Amino acid sequence: MPSMKLLVAEDDPFSATLLVDALRRIGYQVKVVADGLEAERTLLGDPGIRLVVSDWVMPGIDGPELCRRMRSRLCPLYTYFILITARTGLDSRLEGYRAGVDDFLCKPLNLDELLARVEIARRILEMQEELVRRSAELEALKQELELRNARLADMAITDALTGLRNRRHFHRLYESNFLIASETGRRLTVILLDVDNFKRYNDTYGHPAGDEVLVGVADELRRNVRDRDLIARYGGEEFVVLLPQGGTMEGIALADRLRRCIADREWPNAPITASFGVATLNPSTPNPTALLDLADRALYASKQGGRNRLTHARALGPRVTPFPPPPSPAPGDGIPAAGAG
């Protein structure tokens, strides 16, 4: 039988000795006190005591009051309380039950009955302890499952290489933001950007080096875009930024800042630049696809205009011109252009 802590509260030395000797013989760790207040202090100081055998009448406080105070405490594990009394009437037992007593032993004590009642208490306490243990295990498993589900949910919307949100997640939020902006008249701007000459860079330096470029571009986006805006890897070397409350000028300013940050970053093998297309929602934009198409056309105009520049969709027309005009490139700046890429 596993050892269990037990408190005997008995002011009669002879009875206390009988109780302690009998209980220790069957393996219990027994503490003995002679009055109710000392019993209360002992219980407060040792939460490992799971079973109390107490006389009804004691100095300080009596057995029912000791039990009542014990029950008022919040404890993770239950403490079983056996009350010893010479009172045999129903009223006395009801008083004890109302105080929280679990069982009674009548004086004069029968040690065999005492040990049987204590054995019943032990089985009840061990079952309760097992239930608490299993409940804790189930709670731990539940928390682990919730954590794993949260990780899986995050993985489902995250680009594995860059750590940015992926295209699927972008479209889900983009379409809801488009609907809200269309119905409320709020501003909404989309920025598409594409790393210039990325295929040539991959062919020259290898795909691992190309992956490092994509991670570096993602890092620049994270450092320069507000938390309320959404950044996502749109596919390949293309990225997208959604500004739910951004207008034309905010979109142009952010795109130009991102363009300069990418161009000014120290890259390990060769300079890297990116081209940008910006489109802002207006009353004539029919649907989310149309706004993205405008941003994509603006991006294409930046590529056609020489790369490392931005174009806003408002500049699109019979003859597309980049906005604003790009500065003259420095000699040897970047990888020589060879077609759109």
| Residues involved in catalysis | 237
Sole residue written with tokens 């933001």: 177
Which conformational region is residue 92 in: left (phi greater than 0), alpha (psi within -120 to 50 degrees), or beta?
Answer: alpha
> 60 and 35 in contact (C-beta within 8 Å)?
yes
List, in order, residues 6 or more apart from 229 with CB less than 8 Å away: 241, 242, 243, 244, 246
Q: What is the dihedral of CA 250, 251, 256, 257, to 10 degrees?
A: 60
Backbone φ/ψ region at 134: left (φ over 0), alpha (ψ -120 to 50), beta: alpha
CB 190, CB 244: distance < 8 Å = no
d(CA 161, CA 4): 56
Longest dimension (CA), the chain: 111
Residue 232: φ, ψ to 5° = -145, 150
What is the SS3 assignment for 132?
helix
For 25: left if phi > 0, alpha if psi spans -120 to 50, otherwise beta; the answer is alpha
Q: Are 221 and 231 in contact (CB under 8 A)?
A: yes
Report the SS3 class of residue 323. Answer: coil
Cα separation, 231 vs 218, in Å, equals 9
- What angle in degrees, to the nearest 10, is found between the helix axes of 90-99 and 63-71? 30
